[in-house]
Structures are given as structure tokens and as C-alpha cells.
């Protein structure tokens, strides 16, 4: 004889499983929400603080950084010497520049530099800038250059740099006057050669501050005269009779 047992189906386990699932899901969502809130509260302020600190440090560094100019002032000569740098031009594009004690005394920004031979004259004892000029030796006449060279007083320091072309109309008389300032290479200066020189009126020997570079008519490189390796810039005595350059 068969017996049939009738009653409610066992759905308690299923209900518990569903309830547990939703509770776990709710807990996970809550944890994710809390995590996001915590990250927003702590991460952004840290970023802001870091950015602010870095920006402050950077601003401080920028505030203490020395402004850069056409002449470097980082290398300073002793009080009884004068620092200088002489840079020739490159082709007819990059202009020359001459600096004394970290200050630009000849350059296109001062409107006193140009094609040809650029010259700065200073007092050899006081370091005072006396005069500057440039002379076009390609299409200009040599007579103004000769007059300028003859007018230089004994005891003066003379700094020169070529820009583009400085030899075409440079005759023997002009070369002789520059040679008298202590130049050893002016006689050989050729078409579009790069040349930089520092000499003096009344020197008894040839100057050590001179460079010449023949580039076969293509002077597309600049040349800087810096002979004091310890300081970067060259130095010469500002007190004396300008009888020698060492």
C-alpha cells in the first residue's frame, strides 16, 4: 500500500541563500563606496599639498636663480684684473659680441656691431670703456678704420672680432697698425676668416689673446676667445703700463 505525504515544500534554504546573497552584495557596495570616499578625502589633499610644496620649492629656486644674459657673470676675476670674452660672428647670421666684466659692451642689441671688423677700446688702467665701432671691410673704405686705429691712445686695451668678412679692403697700413697692437696673425687674415683678438696700444710683445680660423670662405662657426681655463673667461691686469699680455 502506498502512502503519499503531503505538505509545504522546503524553501527555507533557498530563502536563506537569497537573503545572504543580497546582504553580501550590499556589504560589498558599501565597502566600495567607503573606499571611494576615503580616496577622495585623502588622495586629493595629498596631491594638492605635494603640488603646492613642489611649486613653492620651484618658485623659490627660480627666485634665487641668477638671470641669464648675453654675458656670464659667474666667473669673476680678482679685483686687480678685468674679465673679458670676445666672440666672432658666424657667416652673416650670428652677430659678434664683446663682454667686459660680465657686461655686454658690443653687440647688435646695443646697435654698435656690424659686418666687418668690430672694435672696443678701453682704458687699460681703470677698465673704463672709451669707444667702440665697426668697419665694413667688404664694401666700405679702409680710411675710417685707419683713422680710428691711429686715434687709440697708448695704454688702451683693444678688443676686436670679425663678423662676416673683414679682410677684402684691409690694406697693409691697416694691418700694420693692428700688428702694432700685438697681433701675430693679422697679416694672414683672409677672405671670410674668423678672427678674434685682444691687444693694447704700446705693448712691447705679441699678445697671447688671439685666434684665427680659415674656413675657406665659409665662416659658418663662431669662435670665442677664452684663455683663462680656471675661470672660463679671460682676465688681464687692469693696473699697469700695458707693456705685456700674459
Residues 150 and 34 in one domain: no
> Looking at residues 63-78, what average pLDDT do you find?
59
Using 50, 70 and 90 to split pLDDT, how confident is the model at 216? low
- Within-domain flag for 70: no
- Within-domain flag for 60: yes
Residues 61 and 88 in one domain: no
- Within-domain flag for 152: yes
Question: Structural domain tally of the chain?
Answer: 2
Residues 49 and 108 in one domain: no
151 or 230, greater pLDDT:
151
Using 50, 70 and 90 to split pLDDT, how confident is the model at 116? very high
Which domain does 94 fall in, by range?
81-237
Dist CA 207 CA 223 (whole Å): 17
Confidence (pLDDT) at 152: 97
Phi, psi at residue 46, to the nearest 5°?
-65, -45
Our measurement of the distance from residue 177's CA atom to the centroid of its chain's CA atoms, rounded to an integer in Å, reads 34
User: 126: which residues sit within 8 A by CB, 6+ positions away?
Assistant: 238
Q: Cell numbers at residue 104, please?
A: 655686454
- Within-domain flag for 160: yes
pLDDT tens readout for residues 81-98: 788 889 988 777 788 999
- Within-domain flag for 71: no
72 burial level (CB within 10 Å; 0-12, 13-18, 19+): middle
Dist CA 73 CA 97 (whole Å): 15
- pTM listed for this prediction: 0.66
Closest CA to 116 of 95, 137, 130: 137
Residues 147 and 189 in one domain: yes
Residues 61 and 103 in one domain: no
189 or 84, greater pLDDT:
189
Dist CA 143 CA 170 (whole Å): 10
Number of H helices, E strands in the chain: 3, 10
Confidence (pLDDT) at 48: 42
- The per-residue pLDDT of the chain, averaged, comes to 76
- Within-domain flag for 245: no
- Contact of 193 with 221, CB cutoff 8 Å: no
Residue by residue, DSSP assigns 145-167 as HHHHHHTPPTTEEEEEEEES---
> Looking at residues 210-215, what average pLDDT do you find?
84
Amino acid at each position: 500500500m502506498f502512502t503519499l505525504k503531503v505538505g509545504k515544500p522546503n524553501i527555507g534554504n533557498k530563502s536563506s541563500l537569497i537573503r545572504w546573497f543580497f546582504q553580501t552584495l550590499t556589504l560589498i557596495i558599501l565597502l566600495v563606496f567607503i573606499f571611494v570616499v576615503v580616496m577622495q578625502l585623502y588622495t586629493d589633499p595629498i596631491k594638492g599639498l605635494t603640488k603646492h610644496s613642489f611649486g613653492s620649492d620651484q618658485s623659490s629656486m627660480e627666485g634665487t636663480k641668477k638671470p641669464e644674459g648675453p654675458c656670464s657673470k659667474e666667473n669673476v676675476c680678482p679685483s686687480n684684473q678685468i674679465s673679458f670674452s670676445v666672440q666672432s660672428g658666424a657667416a652673416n647670421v650670428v652677430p659678434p659680441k664683446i663682454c667686459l666684466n660680465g657686461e655686454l659692451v658690443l653687440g647688435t642689441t646695443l646697435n654698435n656691431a656690424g659686418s666687418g671688423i668690430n672694435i672696443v677700446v678701453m682704458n687699460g688702467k681703470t677698465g673704463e670703456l672709451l669707444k667702440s665701432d665697426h668697419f665694413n671691410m667688404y664694401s666700405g673704405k679702409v680710411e675710417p678704420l685707419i683713422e680710428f686705429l691711429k686715434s687709440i691712445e697708448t695704454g688702451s686695451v683693444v678688443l676686436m672680432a670679425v663678423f662676416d668678412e673683414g679682410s677684402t679692403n684691409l690694406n697693409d697700413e691697416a694691418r700694420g697698425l693692428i700688428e702694432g697692437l700685438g697681433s701675430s696673425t693679422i697679416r694672414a687674415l683672409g677672405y671670410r676668416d674668423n678672427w678674434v683678438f685682444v691687444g693694447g696700444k704700446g705693448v712691447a710683445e705679441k699678445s697671447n689673446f688671439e685666434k684665427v680660423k680659415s674656413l675657406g670662405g665659409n665662416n659658418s662657426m663662431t669662435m670665442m676667445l677664452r684663455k683663462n681655463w680656471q675661470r672660463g673667461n679671460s682676465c688681464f691686469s687692469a693696473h699697469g703700463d700695458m707693456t705685456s699680455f700674459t
